[in-house]
A = this chain, B = another copy of it.
Amino acid sequence: MFSKACKYAINAMIYISTLPGGNDRVSLKDISKAINSPEAFTAKILQVLVRENLLSSIKGPNGGFEIHEDGRKTQLYRIVQVIDGDQIFIGCALGLEKCSEDHPCAVHNKFKAIREHLAGMMLTTSLEDMAKGIKNGTNFLKI
């Protein structure tokens, strides 16, 4: 469904969102430990998220990554879009050049419903929402 890069991105963003916020930042090392991901690869993914303004970073001692108040409203949809692109939301499930009503593939109609279900869910799920379950121990980021 999602690439590994995208899974790491989602879990990392959620993890960062569980932390206090304020002046505290969390380091790459802590993030990849918390989500059980390869550190250097995770760094590359976080770079993209910073570049796309889903996340902010500060270099140097006590530096690290942080998500501001309003950044926690970020939709799951947006994270996937930034890392994996939006083919999962708008592309043809069977590989036609584009998905359309005019030239539908063999599963177009049946898939449309699922894709809308998926997109709807991801548009209405925010980091805040997901972080809640992690903070209260209902949900998990690794293993």
A139 at interface by CB-CB < 8 Å: yes
- Tally of this chain's copies: 2
Q: Report how far A113 CA is from B2 CA in the complex, Å.
A: 17
Give A1-43 interface residues, CB cut-off 8 Å to B: 1-2, 4, 7-8, 10-11, 14
Chain A, residues 105-119, CB within 8 Å of chain B (1/0): the string is 111101101100110
User: A114-B117, A114-B118, A117-B117 are known contacts. Are A2 and B93 too (CB-CB below 8 A)?
Assistant: yes
| Chain B residues with CB under 8 A of A83 | none
With A10-B94, A105-B140 already in contact, 12 other A-B pairs whose C-beta atoms are closer than 8 Å: A1-B88, A2-B94, A7-B93, A11-B94, A96-B142, A103-B140, A104-B133, A104-B139, A106-B140, A111-B121, A113-B117, A114-B121
